[in-house]
């Protein structure tokens, strides 16, 4: 059974086997968590992302999918990149958000990762409401069949931390 824990702070400083990156489909870096991971992880991450695009994901990584690279200079061994959906008030995309968590755990299992740090995927610039994002994340990870022993949700601000911990 997976142990779900919570931390307030910067995901790039987490000492875990794998850090999940809320990536954009290009895999080439961006803002928010994605930008921080690329900046702090160094050029090794971008180099592997470019190689993945050239060999497998020329049109970009599909929403809800996940793929791993080195963690470069981060204290983790790997970064698992997943593309979250943009929230829409007119279309239920919750299955795509849940897929981000399931696929990230699947990749973690393939890597042999036991500890994984997750951000609140899609709740930043992609506009997903924090309470709904937390509900989907916690339900999906809690129900997962995985060898991962700890899923740590690393929340950047107190508001997000409070929402996640209140739903646990």
**Which positions are annotated as active-site residues?**
34
Separation CA 154–CA 7 (nearest Å): 5
CA–CA dist 75, 9 (Å, integer): 15
């Amino acid at each position: 059974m997976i142990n779900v824990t919570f931390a307030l702070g910067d995901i790039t400083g987490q000492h875990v086997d794998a850090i999940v990156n809320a990536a954009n489909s290009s895999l080439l870096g961006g803002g928010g968590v994605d930008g921080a991971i690329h900046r702090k992880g160094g050029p090794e991450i971008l180099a592997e992302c470019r190689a993945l695009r050239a060999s497998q994901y020329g049109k970009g990584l599909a929403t809800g999918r996940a793929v791993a690279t080195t963690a470069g200079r981060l204290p983790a061994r790997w970064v698992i990149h997943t593309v979250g959906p943009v929230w829409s008030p007119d279309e239920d995309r919750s299955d795509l958000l849940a897929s981000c968590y399931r696929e990230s755990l699947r990749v973690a299992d393939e890597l042999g990762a036991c500890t994984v740090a997750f951000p609140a995927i899609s709740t930043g610039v992609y506009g997903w409401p924090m309470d709904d994002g937390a509900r989907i994340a916690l339900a999906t990870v809690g129900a997962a069949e995985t060898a991962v022993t700890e899923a740590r949700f690393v929340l950047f601000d107190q508001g997000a931390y409070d929402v996640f911990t209140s739903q646990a």
